[in-house]
Amino acid sequence: MLFNNLDQLYRSVIMDHYKKPRNKGELEGNHCVTVNMNNPSCGDKIQVSLEIEDNKVVNVKYLGSGCAISQSSASMMTEAIKGLEIDKIHQLTFDFSEMVQGREHNDDLDLGDAEALHGVSQYPARIKCATLAWKAVEKALREADKEKSRQ
């Protein structure tokens, strides 16, 4: 077996999300907000669309290009947050960020497949790849909040 430790990072569930992305696309409509985020140091790009109703993210889609870590993380993120209340999503994004940085995190929260990205903590240069989509969600929620206060 080549690259003994490498399969701890590139687990098969991660490569599966990379090759067969879930919830890829864009959402348009009254209750939708779309944001873009780049990782300027490496050129990864993510667009996240959220559809929010009654304080809940009822639908989520993403578009993007980049490495296996950033794109699989986006795909996993969409599955993890769909249908959740906004407060819960904030907890998850915080929890995910703590996990990939190798810090103690709340095991009670369900990150779904995204749990597989915990190996990223061993690769400090790749943490930004993993967190990009989750930061985009936070940005989208801030945008939605601003939008709401304008109305």
- Residues in contact with other proteins by CB under 8 A are 2-3, 5-7, 9-10, 12, 15, 19, 41-45, 65-70, 123, 125-126, 129
Number of Cβ within 10 Å of residue 16's Cβ equals: 16
Q: Where are the beta strands (DSSP E) in the chain?
A: 32-39, 44-53, 56-65
| CB of residue 32 to other proteins, shortest distance in Å | 26
Q: Which are the contacts of 107, defined by CB distance < 8 A and separation ≥ 6?
A: none
Q: Which is nearer to other proteins, 58 or 67 (CB)?
A: 67
| CB of residue 68 to other proteins, shortest distance in Å | 5
Phi first, then psi, for residue 97 (nearest 5°) are -60, -40
Q: Which is nearer to other proteins, 44 or 113 (CB)?
A: 44
| CB of residue 44 to other proteins, shortest distance in Å | 8
Whether the Cβ atoms of residue 95 and residue 106 lie closer than 8 Å to each other: yes
CA-to-CA distance for 81 and 101, rounded, in angstroms?
20
Q: Which is nearer to other proteins, 59 or 70 (CB)?
A: 70
Q: Which is nearer to other proteins, 4 or 149 (CB)?
A: 4
| CB of residue 119 to other proteins, shortest distance in Å | 11
Q: Which is nearer to other proteins, 46 or 52 (CB)?
A: 46
- DSSP 8-state symbol, 126: G
| CB of residue 64 to other proteins, shortest distance in Å | 11
Alpha helices by DSSP H, 20-126: 68-81, 86-100
